Structure 1
Amino acid sequence: MSRPFPILALFALASLNLAHAQQPVTVQTEGGAVVGQQSSVRTFLGIPYAAPPVGDLRWKPPQPAAAWNTPRDASKFGGKCPQKVIALFALPGETPGDIQGQEDCLYLNVYAPKGSTSASNLPVMVWIHGGSYITGSSDSYDGTVLAEKNNMLVVTLNYRLGTLGWLSLPALGAEDGGGQSGNYGLMDQQAALKWVKTNIAAFGGDASKVTIAGESAGGMSNCAHLASPQSAGLFRGAIIQSGLCTSPGNSVTLADAQNRNQKYASNLGCKTDDLACLRAAPVDKLLSTKVPGLRPAANLVWSPVYASKLLPLTLREAYGTGQFNRVPVMNGTNHDEGRLFVSVASPDGKPISPVVYWGGTGLTVGAANTVKVLNQYPYRNFGTPALAFATIFTDAVFSCPALRVDAALSKYVPVYAFEFNDPNAVTIVKTPVDLPSLGAHHSSGLAYAFQSKVDGLADFADFTPAQRQLSDAFSAAWVSFIKTGKPASADWKTFDPAQNNVQVFTPDGVEPSVLFSNDHRCPFWLPLDLK
């Protein structure tokens, strides 16, 4: 009498395992069939959206990927783009300074609900990763939970980084007769968005319901897509998380970049017009050669260039005059963005001294503003110079520039401003010795939005019940915007410059606030108009 139970239990267990087992699933794309894996979701990894940018295609606009005749395996990620391992985000087994990745890296991944078909017409989020335009890859972000839980598609992508993605030189501009150089990483992103427009219906997505989303350099990329005529029609909404869109030093013109980079080319041992020499340079040499010049602390060495074919206007000019792709925008920052960068300011792990604090402040705000800022942020009021510097960096580089973007865009499109503020945000990043905690630091909201592990940053499995509740609210706001163009919360109104209203997400709840501007001393910062 006791035998049937274990037999039935084994059958039930086998059925359960079968339900969760990976099963091959095939979808036909414009380039050929891809064979992904299906369990609780459908995943298609390592799909080429452009030709490998190698050899003569190094520093050229992305070219169409070659078609394939036999079904292509889409069960593994494509190679990440060449980059140096950054100490702050090094994973176990990685050594800071090591070079990883390959130039053949223009791949994307699609996460789709299990039952999706070409008739599903589901909304799509295209995720553009951050990493200061020098590091990061699509495989750090798992779209499984977002796709399964919310009946939507998630696309993650790689794009060229560092010198390979953003080098500007007169010879490169003259090569095609169009005067265009640099912004190759941005063109990669546009190529991926065009691939989505053409192919996403086959996976169950609706090409007319694409929202771009990104954090840090990914958020900054989305700011650029708003301003780029070539991005028009490729998305219907944009989520900008911690984008340094109008931050000090990040509106480099094509002319300035070309002038700066000629010395870089010389340091590689090449004449600045010898493109054959430049294209033959080994990747490790490209990544190890420094770009000369002193820049503001918040400036990204490699980034989009303006007054160019792809970006005719700076972001301030484009937004201020309404000459941008007019779609609804969610734009937000984290309450303690700058705390992550204390480790960068003190790479040896020692406490930041007053002298380093004063010097770092000068590099951040410029010599003409240093005394004013130091008087506004005396380090003794913060306990340590490190916390004072982190607060300056947060306010000057992230929070107040975001408020400026909100005000400019809101004259033309619906803008939903937000702030993520978990004072004890889960992170695997080490807290500097002279900070009380990392707080809601730069990148800390990503695991909350994706509701999954984000490599090098945080693991959703470590969340407390209150943090899971915050994650539910934060992620749901993103999802609602992706599906409808606005957050679901009835009390979240569009941004009004007269009120500076920002939706604040904390473990204690979510509510609108008009205190954001004063909290980050924006009445002090905005008149300074840092460049």
Structure 2
Amino acid sequence: MSRPLRILICSAFATLAVAHAQQPVTVQTQQGAVIGQQAEVRTFLGIPYAAPPVGDLRWKPPQPAAAWTTPRDASKFGNDCAQTVLALFALPGETPGTVKGQEDCLSLNVYTPKGTTAASKLPVMVWIHGGAFTAGSSSGYDGSALAQKNNIVVVTVNYRLGALGWLALPALGAENSGQSGNYGLMDQQAALKWVQSNITAFGGDPAKVTIAGESAGGMSNCAHLASPASAGLFRGVIIQSGLCTSPGNSVTLTDAQSRNQKYARNLDCQADDLACLRAAPVEKLLGTKVPGLRPAPNLVWSPVYASGLLPLTLRDAFSTGQFNRVPVMNGTTHDEGRLFVSVASPNGKPISPVVYWGGTGLTVGASNTVKVLKQYPYRNFGTPALAFATMFTDAVFSCPALRVNAALSKYVPVYAFEFNDPNAATIVKSPPDLPGLGAHHSSSLAYAFQSKVDGLADAADFTPAQRQLSDAFSAAWVSFVKTGKPESADWKTFDPAQNNVQVFTPEGVQPSILFSNDHRCTFWLPLDLQ
């Protein structure tokens, strides 16, 4: 056989293999038919769940997506929401500080096992991504492995970010019964309502929806627990590293509207000139800072409280039982703060003692700085960077999570966990003054999804021990999605008297009552940082 003929035959077989691997599959939604792809898993990408929030719809509650009559291609992701590229998570070809994405971005993606039909009635996990409410996208999380291996439906969601998702101003409130801000949260609620109306056609059960999210996504899920408008949209919640009651993240609508008036003026608009604001270029909106000095953990753009959507702060809602009562799985990673040291370390230079002292003051407030520095003297940690990372982990993530567990557990089953792989797989570079990134903020995600997570890690890089850890960690999430509780005989619901936390390590999974001591929570909780 001649070489050209062999090449032609091989090419033909390769084409047939690809065609066999990916076959079109059509599902009817309430807006119209969508054509996804089916191989070992079915994927439907870029489905609009709301109208594009552009023009006059900028800073308005999400509106219904327009219907279509011709079947819609669902083989490609929709636009990322407009955002500024962060240096830490910049992908190849992206320049930190530039704007990417579009305002027209309210879409979601559905992953289902091969052969799923409307009669399947599978449990559903809806993933809300993190990124400090200013970055990230649904396309960064591949739900294929979770769907295929575990016979569940996975939905990943985009929502408005930065000023476009969270700007609160009196003039905007005048258009919406006195309420402004929280547009990103309303987007998430619109996506959850879309799931309730449409997921049956994809093989999911609208009565078995669990919302899951990390960082800002975890904080979003805390907000859904507290929001009356989210009632009935889910039956369980997974919170990974949510800053739900962390210092500086209980901004009221009144305070947000006050500080954002200065932001509007920095856009060369009057705060009540909505035409000017809605005409402002996206690049200018996202590149303009909100004036004022805030605590280091404070998320400038985030949910606002004492509002129609969130009548109470999260702490008040949880402590008084005024929340949507469903089972909760709430956890952190052991070394959350090390990622933020990577962000704060300029050009990889070591953090100096002076920077450590100043960062501590911004984190805990001037009145607490001296006692915190005595509790975390940098000489005991080897470097100021490790001292700050440890202090930040304990103050902002670990001990607030313990407070959330204690409050919620009075009313609902709570399953507390900690992810602790000391050498977690990551593509993020560690600064020279840290002994590695450890189980840093967001390090658990590739383990949970068992896939690549853009800008963070790839499950393909796991060692055998890490693969075993990933299997156990992911299985715990999936069993909670399926049944409302982890299928582990030794994983008991949280007891405030024990502070029991399930710890996931490469060596195994076991319950522990040492979490509070490990993170010095007997020191932190009485400080009651606001």
Bucket of the pairwise TM-score, normalised by the shorter protein: over 0.9
Answering whether residue 105 of structure 2 is matched by residue 73 of structure 1, we say no
1:245 maps to which residue? 244
Q: Decide whether the 8 Å contact of 1:345 with 1:360 is kept in 2.
A: no
- Kindly provide the CA deviation profile for residues 132-170 of structure 1, in whole angstroms up to 9, marking residues without a partner as x: 000000000000000000000000010000000000000
- Kindly provide the CA deviation profile for residues 387-431 of structure 1, in whole angstroms up to 9, marking residues without a partner as x: 000000000000000000000000000000000000000000010
Task: State how far apart, in whole Å, the 1-side matches of 2:244 and 2:431 are.
Answer: 27
Taking structure 1 as the reference length, what is the TM-score of the superposition? Answer: 0.97
Amino acid at match of 1:161: L
1:201 maps to which residue? 200
**Root-mean-square deviation over aligned CA pairs:** 1.4
Answering whether residue 354 of structure 2 is matched by residue 355 of structure 1, we say yes
TM superposition shift of 1:51: 0.1
Task: State how far apart, in whole Å, the 2-side matches of 1:68 and 1:349 are.
Answer: 51
Task: State how far apart, in whole Å, the 1-side matches of 2:178 and 2:232 are.
Answer: 24
Answering whether residue 93 of structure 2 is matched by residue 86 of structure 1, we say no
Task: State how far apart, in whole Å, the 2-side matches of 1:118 and 1:308 are.
Answer: 38
2:118 maps to which residue? 118
Secondary structure at the counterpart of residue 347 of structure 2 = coil
Secondary structure at the counterpart of residue 52 of structure 2 = coil
Q: Decide whether the 8 Å contact of 1:211 with 1:239 is kept in 2.
A: yes
1:514 maps to which residue? 513
TM superposition shift of 1:348: 2.5
- Kindly provide the CA deviation profile for residues 320-350 of structure 1, in whole angstroms up to 9, marking residues without a partner as x: 1000000000000000000000022222221
2:235 maps to which residue? 236
1:109 maps to which residue? 109
Task: State how far apart, in whole Å, the 1-side matches of 2:149 and 2:288 are.
Answer: 45
1:95 maps to which residue? 95
Answering whether residue 145 of structure 2 is matched by residue 145 of structure 1, we say yes
Task: State how far apart, in whole Å, the 2-side matches of 1:382 and 1:204 are.
Answer: 52
- Kindly provide the CA deviation profile for residues 145-200 of structure 1, in whole angstroms up to 9, marking residues without a partner as x: 00000000000010000000000000000113x11100000000000000000000
Question: Unpaired segments of 5 or more residues in structure 1?
Answer: 1-5
Answering whether residue 63 of structure 2 is matched by residue 34 of structure 1, we say no
Amino acid at match of 2:496: P
1:3 maps to which residue? none
Amino acid at match of 2:286: L
Q: Decide whether the 8 Å contact of 1:20 with 1:40 is kept in 2.
A: no
TM superposition shift of 1:232: 0.1
TM superposition shift of 1:449: 0.1
Task: State how far apart, in whole Å, the 2-side matches of 1:344 and 1:436 are.
Answer: 16
Taking structure 2 as the reference length, what is the TM-score of the superposition? Answer: 0.97
Secondary structure at the counterpart of residue 225 of structure 1 = helix
Task: State how far apart, in whole Å, the 2-side matches of 1:274 and 1:14 are.
Answer: 59
Task: State how far apart, in whole Å, the 2-side matches of 1:87 and 1:430 are.
Answer: 12
Secondary structure at the counterpart of residue 35 of structure 2 = strand
Amino acid at match of 1:435: L
Secondary structure at the counterpart of residue 244 of structure 2 = coil
Secondary structure at the counterpart of residue 115 of structure 1 = coil
1:154 maps to which residue? 154
2:128 maps to which residue? 128
Answering whether residue 343 of structure 2 is matched by residue 369 of structure 1, we say no
TM superposition shift of 1:128: 0.1
The change in CA–CA distance for 1:385 and 1:116 in structure 2 (over 3 A counts) is same
The change in CA–CA distance for 1:258 and 1:15 in structure 2 (over 3 A counts) is closer
Identity over aligned residues, as a percent?
84
Amino acid at match of 2:359: G
Task: State how far apart, in whole Å, the 2-side matches of 1:62 and 1:413 are.
Answer: 31
Secondary structure at the counterpart of residue 218 of structure 1 = helix
Amino acid at match of 1:310: L
Q: Decide whether the 8 Å contact of 1:223 with 1:315 is kept in 2.
A: yes
Task: State how far apart, in whole Å, the 1-side matches of 2:502 and 2:115 are.
Answer: 34
Question: Unpaired segments of 5 or more residues in structure 2?
Answer: 1-5
